[in-house]
Structure 1
Amino acid sequence: MKYLFFILLFITANVTAKPETNNSIAFYYSAPMPLAEMTFYSRVVVQPELITKHELNWLKQRNIAVYAYLSVGESFSKSESSLSVNPNWNSHISDLTAAQWQLHIQNSALSLKARGFNGLFLDTLDSYQLLDKKHNKSAQQAGLVFIIEQLSNTFNKQLILNRGFELLPQLKGRANDLVAEGLFSHFNPLDNSYKLTNKNDQAWLNAQLHKAQDLGFNVQVIDYAKPKQRLAMAQKIINAGYTPWVTDGHLQTWGTSNIAPVPRRILIPYNSNIEPLIYTTVHLNLATMIEYLGYIPDYINVAKRALPAVDPSLHAGIISWTSFDTFYTPTITNWLEANLGVVPELILGELPSSANKLMLSLGAEPLDVTPLGPYELESFTPWLKGESSIPPVVTNPYFLKLAANSKALISIKAADGTSLVQGTKTKYGALVVAPWLIDTLPMEGSKWVIDPRTLLTKAMGLEPILVPDTTTQSGRRMLTIHIDGDGFTSVAHFAKKPYSAEVILDKIIKHYKLPLTSSIIQADIEPGGLHSKMSPKLERIARDIFKLPYVEIASHTYSHPYFWTALAGRKDIDEEDTDYGLKLDIPGYNTISLEKEITDSIKYIDDKLAPANKKTVIMLWSGDATPGPKALELARDAGVLNVNGGNTDVNADNPSLTHVSPIGRPERDLLYQIYAPILNENVYTNLWHGPYYGFKRLTETFEITEKPYRLKPYTIYFHFYSGEVPAGLDALKHNIDYVLARPNTPVHLSHYAKVAKDFYFSALAKNSDGQWLFSSKDIKTLRVPDVFDMPNISQSSGVAGVTQKGDYVHVVNNIAQLSFDHSKENKAPYLASANVIIDNWQVNGPVSFTAWVPATLDLINAGACVFVSHLGERYKGLTRGDITQFKIPAGDFFGYLNCNAGV
């Protein structure tokens, strides 16, 4: 009975702890799908030809019902069933009584059902009314009812009707929802205009909608407004008694319901024929700060797809950064010019040679003369100055002067005293030319000449937003530990000459008992591999590692390919790069097979090494760790996550953000490579040539990626060969002990990988009360920028608490609602921080979490609280100041947080 009691409590918590319900159906008739924003809705309507298989599956995996648009009364293709033309859309009105048309509609529905759609949105139900009197209206109505009855049977009544008011009594019970457009505003497709609906038409439509409601239909109104006016229009629809969706006349921009989207995507065009994304400076350097600010780099490969229409509801800005003047085709420059004033723009590096409107709008125009050097710095806006203490050497400047209504950010002076602007700002955005972005100095490495944060915020004008955070869990910096399989079979320099894997197992894995991800290279340990005679012992060591409860299993491929970039066809391999070959030298294995490296290596581990209750969960990329789309697809098909790569190895010799990589890299079909948060001991030990204690400098990286910005979790990433020598083992212990002496939350690498990937699929919105909403499947932390007030947890929902500084909010539901309204004092108990992964949290209700180490939970306003486990153990806290700290043994906790006074 005790266990049943707690199960009921958890069910109750999941029902009652949700933020405001959103009953609107979202409509979107463009591509690609705004998947993140769609997670605020339980149903979405799309044009079926515009959604990909992977997008459809992604939505269905999140229990979002996807309805396909289906035109019942019209077609853009003339056929035997066509009776007339609709002049508004230049489409053909169909004969609803024609057997061939009825069969066409039914076959279309069956095809959509086979693709996986959950229902249909039936449009053009009133088109038959445009026919002249020679066509029998009653017969057309009967044909329409027959068609809808068939569709209702096919989709089990999951139909959304667009109007069709005259037939609603006959369609009762055949569909659940009705949508009507134009209650307060309407769209004219002939001239793309928007007009307010007159009072008489409003009254008529209201009457029809009330009749539909009386018949039991759920009624939604689609109206039209510019993005900034949509939330007010939606509230007007709500006040009229209907569910709202406010968008554009073609439904090709993301709309507003009772919440308005907060745009996060930054459009970044690049051309893979000129330079692959992995080599672009905007990805390697600026994307890190874009993501830190909470925005998503939305890379557009112009070599493979058209530039998109800019939607201010989804897109927060445009950034163009190139080192190649051939990048700026007329198509790109025209697109940039067309979107001036739509969203802020930032033009960096090389400038287009023939884009006078773009340059003038961003504050620069060409000089009539080309004054000679030497050139020296004239002015540099203080807030834009970056890491470099000296200005770059300029030998080939841009000969630009300041345009009207603009501000100079950077200017230099020629030998004759002429002023040349190299950076400008206007109301449309900003531009900064090379070499005033990143400077590379001999023996010193690269540094930001400008500050990338203020470049994006003050110069470009990005607004501060809540940030989906990938570094922190329950208010404390995450700790991940993972091992690449290299060196598993190395003989260690210790007594009895154990394998390095045995040293790591005994001295690190078993000693610390922290969540850890371990991998092997199949050919290194399998029978018939490189060490066939010792395979039984090597496989036994691997099994001993994998069976530990805190170890999760990964593959480090079959043969450890070194050049994934070349395998993806993105780079030719230079002979000097191949001193150690393309892979491990395995007899008989001459050509690298992606299936063998990924799919088969995972199967080998699962079949031969993994205990019965475990499977491989991650692919850890080898070598240059730059897999192409096919490799990422194989990993996804195998059901595993993927991690490694990136370039985060910053240290005190050059503490530059240019050595901190972004979270990950996109490929086609929703594929993402997640970068290792921080690189391994190889880069700290001169490619393992020594000094072997060099990995101790990892703590420098920890400190630089913590202040002034927490950019990465604590990550201890190494190879088994760290156990080969005492200095390497000592460095590992040093790093782990360093982290354990500081607040942290240990998590598996797979946990981080899910969080990291979900950064690109999480969404923000605001409601009419100014509250923020956050939607994410895996991210459970929101970072609050300094300019925001302290969140009021008692007025929020879907959250467990906030840190004492107010900078990290702990999210516990897939949709959270955060309030900054302090009109009511926050006296309820809430979590300040903990070293646990929270699954469920409710004050005076059920709580569950995972603690890999003894749990410490700091709560505020919790002096009267006690944790009670499902077995009846009670844990009281110790109060010091505002904090009450609770200590609970490691493990999975299921219980109750009782905060009733006097308990």
Structure 2
Amino acid sequence: MWRRRWRCIALWCLTVVGLACSPAGAAFAQAMPSIAFHYGDRPPVDALQAFDIAVVEPDSGFDPRQLSTPATSWFAYVSVGEVLPGRAYFKDIPKAWLAGNNDAWQARVVDQSAQGWPAFYVDKVITPLWQRGFRGFFLDTLDSYQLVAKTDAERARQEAGMVRVIQAIKARYPDARLIFNRGFEILPQVHQLADAVAFESLFRGWDQGKGRYVEVNDADRAWLLGQARTIREQYRLPVIAIDYCPPADRRCARETARRIKALGMTPYVADPGLQTVGIGSVEVLPRRVLVVQERRQGLSIDDSPGVRFVSMPLNYLGYRVEFAETRDPLPDIGPDRYAGVVVYVDGNVTEQPGRFVSWIEKQIAQGMPVVFMNDFGASVTGSLARTLGLKPVKGRVSGPVEILARDPMMGFEMPVAPDRTQAEAIQVPERAGYRSLLRMRSGTLTYDAAAITPWGGYVLGPYAVRQNSSNDQSRWVVQPLTFLREALRLPDMPVPDVTTENGRRLLTIHIDGDGFASRAEIPGGGFSGEVLFREIFDRYRLPMTMSVIQGELASDGMYPKLTAQLEPIARKIFAQPYVEVASHTFSHPFEWGRTVPGEPASEGRNVEGDEEFHLAIPGYTMDLNREIGGSIDYINRRLAPPGKPVSLLLWSGDCQPPAQALKLTAQAGVLNMNGGDTLITRSNPSWTAIAPLGINKPDGTFQVFAPNQNENVYTNLWHGPFYGFERVIETFELTDRPLRFKPVNIYYHSYSGTKAASLKALRKVYDYVLTQPLLPLHATDYVRKVLDWQDMAVARELPAGDGGQGGAWIVRGDGNLRNLRWTGNGVPDVASARGVTGTSPAPGGGVYLYLDGGNARFAIGAAPAAEPAVQLAEANGIVRDWQRRDGVTTFAFSGYYKPFFRLAGAGQCRVSVDGKPVQGVRERNTLRVDTAPITDPIHVRQRVEVHCAG
């Protein structure tokens, strides 16, 4: 919690121009990293990692040891001059050391001159935080002693005590980084121990007593600027200025931050409680969209329209989707973290409709874009009509309907078919910000069924998605990408992309263990695992992820007499260097909703198996711990080779695990995947048949969906034709053009090894992918990319001038996702970029940017400022740690399968791999170098050096 400061007499001899033009100050400002402050209960790591330094409240439960954010240093907020009674160490402070109160913040002022205070502070405050992984500390309340010290002598004693505290911190922890909040009076003695100095309220402040925002007067500002000049020029330290604006007023924060930055200081502007993500040297673009829906009783969230229809387009646009139910209290969200709200409901909200309407009005009032799809959830009358600016029209739609005007985005996958069943008699006004997308007429009544509005937009049913129950197919009537981009006012931004890397579409292969115990119906017979190993796995030797069901193989399963034959087959497969080990559970639950009492079971699904909703294993009663942790332990003990444990759990049956199951996979230390139902084919060519990346379950757990679906759905649930899986090639092609929505994923079951037709289809699919420019990876590599995608920060550097359009882009993650998609105006400047190795065209327009890790910075220009001497044109492998210096480009490279890289701009260059010269091949105006495959390219890398003449 911030403490307010005391204003001092202004020093009018200082001018703002003098500070801004200071050469020393400009140099330090350039060196100062970006910084954010967040004191909320759950610091949003996904957004805060865009900053170089993030200061958090340690009592929020935040643990820096649990994070993978290599570009961000996490500082702990600590109060020196005051203590709140709620702090854990408060009870241990001798009462004699408490010298007074700060009533505005209900805090006690500590006597800094107390003899034991420095040692106490290090032992009780700093050491526990150091043990938790904090290596930086933001020292607040450095001048609170002025509340109790009334004479010069008293102030001198307090200042001397505070100096001893800071010296004690550095004596115990010399590597500790310290940022002071003010403390101007003691800087002459301790400035050499500080990394930077901060102060509050340069332009805009907060009056805690009156609970209001205030404009800082010229006198106070001039005094602060004088202090800033001394800090920068005399002590040669960076200066941080923290100001305050209403959290919903992003324009205020942006303009204030620009004013601070123009003075050569590091800005941060947020709400006075520092509960939201503010704007500093960089502005983080919110990448979350909240989908509000009302599910009918018994419908799982996996089958809801928010997951089936809305999530995929938002994912493609770069946005993580979270869900809320109208029956529950709707969450408190803000524009610092959420890009907008999508409401997808059928008819009016049934539970507490007034609460729903009030919440919608609140979001629009704070500038949050809101989109309604299918229905408004309430009658557009009264206050809601006024909020939306829509005009209810007298009368009702009752006769034949005709189209008066239609925007090109309407009629995307099927023509607009006039329909009055969900018609709403409303019109958009003829004024700026409103644009009808679909104007209809029924008799003399004219109404607008879809529109873009100043607050967002709407498209009413059935003009969003038309669902056909007779063939279980759906079609987008509105172009979802165009509509959502316009209605939510989504800006151009570099989109994290999990489909591609280094110019090549990704390929993963994973096998569910079903049927491992089945015998092949082909000449020679044998178990399906034997046949697959001989005919597919060892023939192609592509990286793949293999799973087994414990209940099929183990002696306590369905076929104990076959265990001695089946387990050696599994061991042989798992021992192959290209095979990743996975579990497909103990008993293969068919309906996961029934594994936990109280969870809704799937509705309307044609599930396989018996009435017990899992394999009929003698004597077995459903136990989630045995399904997940138990099966993993069995595989690790009995089947997996040493040092190669289970790394993934593949969901079975309906692939709709409850939160408890997802948590158990995390506790077991494995990743999870499956589900999603990407089924687009030429007989069902709709984007509604493309699944999102995964699903955020209501309790915060996340399930990663498989990129494609398995042969079961291409063979009519394994009733034939058994060659049907060859149609997955249609899915691969339709998820690549006109836009690339998915990587290539060959996903099938062990029972595909039992029939000649299914084996032939598999070979056809494998042969097809080998003709494509793909980058083979393991399934866990893909899962980690999706998890990184979830939490990546996309930010833009703040320009110093008032009229700037934004500086360079900053994108940060944990380094697993190494591809961005840019479709805005201009082209990325690779020559001046950091963390960007090259670019290539993206399907549908725009470019892919290749990253070498989790920290990229690049600018967009009308044309490249200069061509880099060397850049990556393409690679069938993983590129890390790309560096250019003095005509030498170095990077780490490795790949699973036939790895190679091609370099552009390397015409006069020599290449070495691990210190040995290699001879490249000239190919398409590039230099191609093939290297040896690596079993574990994530951790084992070859060092490449490229020396270029001149």
TM-score computed with the length of structure 1 as normaliser: 0.89
Query: What residue is the counterpart of 1:15 in the other structure?
Result: none
Counterpart residue number, 1:284: 308
Q: Structure 1 901/122 Cα, relative in aligned 2: closer, same or farther at 3 Å?
A: closer
Aligned to 2:27: none
- Deviation of 1:498 after TM superposition, in Å, equals 0.6
Q: Which moved more, 1:356-365 or 1:36-45?
A: 356-365
Answer yes or no: is the 8 Å Cα contact 2:497–2:821 preserved in 1: no
Please give the per-residue CA displacement for 1:365-390, whole angstroms capped at 9, x wherever unaligned. Answer: 32332242333444332223321235
SS at match of 1:613: coil
For residue 28 of structure 1, what is the aligned residue in structure 2? Answer: 38
Deviates more, 1:237-246 or 1:23-32: 237-246
Stretch moving more, 320-329 or 416-425? 320-329
Alignment pair present for 1:673 and 2:703: yes
Among 138, 142, 147, the alignment partner of 1:125 is: 142
1:216–1:649 CA distance, 2 compared to 1 (3 A): same
**Letter of the aligned partner of 1:38 in structure 2?**
L
Q: CA 1:573–1:37 in structure 2 vs 1: closer, same or farther (change >3 Å)?
A: closer
Q: Which amino acid aligns with 2:344?
A: W
The answer to whether the 8 Å contact 1:328/1:352 transfers is no
Instruction: State which of 58, 65, 73 in structure 1 corresponds to 2:67.
Output: 58
Match of 1:894 in 2: 942
| Residue of structure 2 aligned with 1:771, choices 786, 808, 827 | 808
Change (3 A) 1:663 1:101: farther
Say if 1:206 and 1:37 are closer, same or farther in 2 by CA, change over 3 A: farther
Shift of 1:133: 4.5
Residue 167 of structure 1 pairs with residue 167 of structure 2: no
Q: What is the alpha-carbon distance in structure 1 between the residues aligned to residue 812 and residue 779 of structure 2?
A: 22
Residue by residue over 1:380-412, the C-alpha shift from the partner in whole angstroms, topping out at 9 and shown as x without a partner, is 322233212352643242222334533222233
- Deviation track 1:697-719 (CA, whole Å, cap 9, x = no partner) reads 10111111111211110000000
1:809 aligns with 2:836: no
Q: How far did residue 71 of structure 1 move?
A: 7.0
Aligned residues: 877
1:557 aligns with 2:585: yes
Deviation at 1:286, TM superposition (A): 1.2
Q: How far is the alpha carbon of 1:339 from its aligned partner?
A: 2.9
Shift in CA distance, 463/219, structure 1 to aligned 2, threshold 3 Å: closer
Alignment partner of 1:365 is 2:391: yes
Superposed CA deviations along residues 56-75 of structure 1, whole A, max 9, x for unmatched, are 72367887434145474254
- 1:622-771 equivalences under 5 Å are 622-667=652-697, 671-767=701-797, 768=799, 770-771=807-808
* Alignment correspondent of 2:48: 38
1:875 has 2:888 as partner: no
Q: In the alignment, is the contact (CA less than 8 A) between 1:212 and 1:219 conserved in 2? A: yes
Q: From the superposition, tell whether residues 400 and 218 of structure 1 become closer, same or farther in structure 2 (CA, over 3 Å).
A: closer
Aligned with residue 249 of structure 1, among 272, 281, 291 = 272
Q: What CA RMSD, in Å, does the superposition of the two structures yield over aligned residues?
A: 3.5
Cα distance, 1:101–1:585 mapped onto 2, change above 3 Å: farther
Residues 1:775 and 1:372: Cα distance change in structure 2 (over 3 Å): same
Deviations 1:322-379 (A, max 9, x none): 2262266434322322232613221222324266444444453323322423334443
Please give the residue correspondences for 1:75-224 in structure 2 after superposition, counting only pairs within 5 Å: 75=84, 86=102, 89=104, 91-96=106-111, 117-131=134-148, 133=150, 137=155, 141=159, 157-169=176-188, 176-189=195-208, 190-198=210-218, 201-207=221-227, 210-211=230-231, 214=234, 219-224=239-244
1:73 to 74, 79, 82: 82
SS in 2 for 1:794: coil
Q: How far, CA to CA, are the matches of 2:795 and 2:45 in structure 1?
A: 14
Q: Per-residue deviation at 1:143? A: 6.3
| Structure 2 residues not aligned, in runs of 5+ | 1-29, 800-805
**Deviations for 1:32-84, whole angstroms, at most 9, x for unmatched residues?**
4321222233432223344556x872367887434145474254889988876
Residues 684 and 694 in structure 1, CA contact (< 8 A), matched pair in contact too = yes
C-alpha deviation, 1:215, in angstroms? 5.6
Structure 1's 215 and 563: CA in aligned 2 closer, same or farther, altered over 3 A?
same
5 Å-filtered alignment, 1:462-861, equals 462-568=490-596, 569-572=598-601, 580=610, 581-590=612-621, 592-667=622-697, 671-767=701-797, 768=799, 770-803=807-840, 807-821=847-861, 822=863, 824-826=865-867, 828-842=869-883, 844-861=888-905
C-alpha distance 349-503 of structure 1, shift in aligned 2 (>3 A): same
2:778 and 2:69 mapped to 1: Cα distance?
A: 26
Whichever residue aligns with residue 91 of structure 1, its letter is: Q
Secondary structure of 1:858's partner? strand
AA partner of residue 651 (structure 2): W
**Conserved? CA contact 1:875–1:887, under 8 Å:** no
Q: 1:241 to 1:842 in 2, by over 3 A?
A: closer
Is contact 1:69-1:120 (8 Å) kept?
A: yes
What is the one-letter code of the residue matched to 1:811?
L
Aligned equivalent of 1:8 = none
Q: 1:557, CA displacement in angstroms?
A: 0.8
Show the counterpart of 1:17.
Answer: none
Structure 1 unmatched runs, 5+: 1-19
1:303–1:838 Cα change, 3 Å: farther
**d(CA) in 2 for partners of 1:708 and 1:212?**
54
Q: Which of 332, 357, 371 is the aligned partner of 1:346?
A: 371
Q: In structure 2, the residue corresponding to 1:346 is in which secondary structure?
A: strand
Structure-2 separation of matches of 1:670 and 1:573: 21
Number of the residue aligned with 2:420: 394
Residue 703 to residue 165, structure 1, CA distance change in 2 (3 Å): same
8 Å CA contact 1:186–1:194 kept in 2: the answer is yes
CA 1:863–1:538: 2 relative to 1, 3 Å? same
CA distance in 2: counterparts of 1:158 and 1:599, whole angstroms:
42
Cα separation, 2, equivalents of 1:139 and 1:841: 53
Contact 2:353 2:378 in 1 (8 A): no
Q: Give the secondary structure class of the aligned counterpart of 2:902.
A: strand
The offset of 1:111, in angstroms, is 6.1
**Aligned partners of 1:223 and 1:552: how far apart in 2?**
52
Asked whether the 8 Å contact 2:114–2:161 carries over to 1, the reply is no
Residue deviations 1:568-620 (CA, integer Å, cap 9, x gap): 54314679857523111112212x21111111211211122111131111111
Q: Distance in 2 between matches of 1:271 and 1:99?
A: 60
Query: CA 1:108–1:567 in 2, change beyond 3 Å: closer, same or farther?
Result: farther
- Does the 8 Å contact 1:288/1:661 carry over to 2? yes
What's the TM-score, normalizing by structure 2?
A: 0.84
Structure 2 CA distance for aligned equivalents of residues 669 and 778 of structure 1? 26
Distance 1:321 1:46, change over 3 A: same
Cα distance in 2 for partners of 1:168, 1:500 equals: 75
Counterpart amino acid of 1:828? Answer: A
Deviation larger for 502-511 or 888-897: 888-897
Structure 1 pair 209–810 and aligned structure 2 pair: CA distance change class (3 A): same
